[in-house]
Amino acid sequence: MLSWIGETEGEAAVEPALRKFGERNLAERATPEHDWWSVPAEARAKVVARGMLANGADIELSEDDEKIVMSFRCGSGGWLVDSGAYDGPDGLLTLTESGPRTFGRDSMWVYCAHCSVNNEIQAVESTGRLTSVEFPPERAGEPCVHHVYRDLDDIPEEIYVRIRKTKPAVS
């Protein structure tokens, strides 16, 4: 569906479609009743890991004093890339307009744009903060990597810049 939207309406139309999905299905995650930001990093990482495991991913975990790092082959977006769904003239759309929806990259697979739009851009717009940072693969066979920072103030400013948002003042 996202490929069709981008191909018929232009790449810029992919973002409003994803935003509508986020407003209908994900907005509740960013309400005062769901104070996601006060949850310890280990619990936030566990929520992400459970979702990825349910999506067929094998997860490798590592951590340091600053963050928990989850590396996995996404069972949906990664599967599409690795199965060749983006290859050839009939392949799915690859976004080529660098901007927030591509994490500032020159290209990104259309499916992966939900990570930037729904999980980062809309999170910052509705709450001013990120809860995790995502790094989709750049080539087939590479893992998707998520960083879950123990202290949200430690998320680097360049992470906000890549989605054209301003890092909140240290709390």
**Residue 74 pLDDT:** 87
Mind listing the pLDDT tens digit for each residue in 74-85? Answer: 889 999 999 999
pLDDT score for 126: 84
Q: Answer whether 70's CB lies under 8 Å from 146's CB.
A: yes
Q: Is this model's pTM higher than 0.75 or not?
A: yes
Using 50, 70 and 90 to split pLDDT, how confident is the model at 33?
low
Q: Identify the band that residue 55 occupies on the pLDDT scale cut at 50, 70 and 90.
A: confident
C-alpha distances in Å from residue 140, one per residue of 52, 96, 119, 144 = 18, 17, 22, 11
- Percentage of the residues of the chain whose pLDDT score is greater than 70: 94
Of 28-37, 125-134, 136-145, the least confident: 28-37
Report, as an integer, the average pLDDT of 2-30.
Answer: 89
Per-residue confidence (pLDDT) for residue 161, from 0 to 100 = 96
Annotate the chain with three-state secondary structure.
CHHHHHHHHCHHHHHHHHHHHHHHHCHHHHCCCCCHHHCCHHHHHHHHHHHHHHCCCCEEEEECCCEEEEEECCCCHHHHHHCCCCCCCCCCCEECCCCHHHCCCCCEEHHHHHHHHHHHHHHHHHHCCCCCEEECCCCCCCCEEEEEECCHHHCCHHHHHHCCCCCCCCC
Q: What's the mean pLDDT in 133-147?
A: 94
Residue 25 has pLDDT above 60, yes or no: yes
Residue boundaries of the structural domains of the chain: 2-162
pLDDT of residue 131: 81
